[in-house]
Amino acid sequence: MQRLQDKNKRIFQGVQIAAAICIICTLVIEFSMDLSQSSVWHSVVIGLDVTLVLGFASYLLQLAILNRSTWAHWLVVERVNLLALAFAFIMLPIPRLSAAVVAVRLFVNILFYALDTAWGKKCVQHVHLRPSQTLALSFLGIISVGTFLLVFPAATVDGKGANFGDALFTITSAACVVGLNVVDVGSYFSQFGQAVILCTIQVGGLGIMVLSAVFAILIGTQLHTRRQVGLWEILDVSTSNGLKALIKAVAAGTFIAELLGALFLFFSWGIEFPSFGDRVWWSVFHSISAFCNAGFGLLPDSLMVFVGNSWVCCIIMVLITLGGIGFFVMADMTNPAVWKIKQPRAVWNRLHIQSRVVILATILLDVVGMLMFLFFEYNGVLLDLSIFDKIIAALFQSISLRTAGFNVVSMGTLSSATVLFSLIWMFIGASPGSTGGGIKTTTLAVALMSVRSMLTGRDQVELMGRRIPAVIVNRSLSIILISASVIAFVLLLLLATQSISFERLFFEAVSAFGTVGLTMDSTYKLNQQGRFFIIALMYMGRIGPLTLALAIGERMRPKGYQFAEGRLAVG
Instruction: Read off the pLDDT of residues 364-392 as tens digits, 9 standing for 90 and up.
Output: 999 999 999 999 999 999 988 999 999 99
How do residues 44-77 score in pLDDT, each as one tens digit? 888 888 888 888 888 888 878 777 777 777 777 7
**CB neighbours of 255 closer than 8 A, spacing ≥ 6?**
none
Contact 402, 393 (CB under 8 A): no
Q: How far apart are the first and last CA of the chain?
A: 76
Phi and psi at 314, nearest 5°, equal -70, -40
Buried b (16+ CB within 10 A) or exposed e, 483-494: beebbeebbebb
| pLDDT higher than threshold 80 for residue 410 | yes
Q: Which of 515, 513, 540, 511 is nearest to 523 (CA)?
A: 511
Contact 329, 431 (CB under 8 A): yes
Q: Which of 284, 310, 105 is nearest to 191 (CA)?
A: 284
Q: Sign of the CA dihedral 380, 361, 509, 304? A: negative
Element (H, E) at 82: helix 79-90
Average pLDDT, the chain: 82
How do residues 260-271 score in pLDDT, each as one tens digit? 999 999 999 988
**Band of pLDDT at residue 564, cut at 50, 70 and 90:** confident
Q: What CA–CA distances, in Å, run from 128 to 51, 112, 134? A: 39, 18, 10
pLDDT value, residue 375: 93
Least confident of 40-44, 167-171, 309-313: 40-44
Query: What stretches of 236-352 show up as alpha helix (H) in DSSP?
Result: 240-266, 276-291, 310-324, 327-333, 344-350
Q: Which of 84, 46, 116, 136 is nearest to 536 (CA)?
A: 136
| pLDDT higher than threshold 60 for residue 457 | yes
How do residues 187-229 score in pLDDT, each as one tens digit? 899 888 898 999 899 888 877 556 555 555 554 545 555 545 5
pLDDT, mean of residues 103-122: 76
How do residues 327-337 score in pLDDT, each as one tens digit? 778 777 877 77
pLDDT, mean of residues 289-300: 90
**Between these two residues, 410 and 241, which has the higher pLDDT value?**
410
CA atoms within 13 A on the CB side of 133: 6
Three-class secondary structure of residue 269 per DSSP = coil
CA angle at 371 for the pair 367 and 374, rounded to the nearest 5°: 135
pLDDT value, residue 285: 94
**Between these two residues, 424 and 437, which has the higher pLDDT value?**
424
Q: Which of 37-41, 472-476, 512-516 has the highest mean pLDDT?
A: 512-516
**Between these two residues, 512 and 99, which has the higher pLDDT value?**
512
**Band of pLDDT at residue 2, cut at 50, 70 and 90:** low
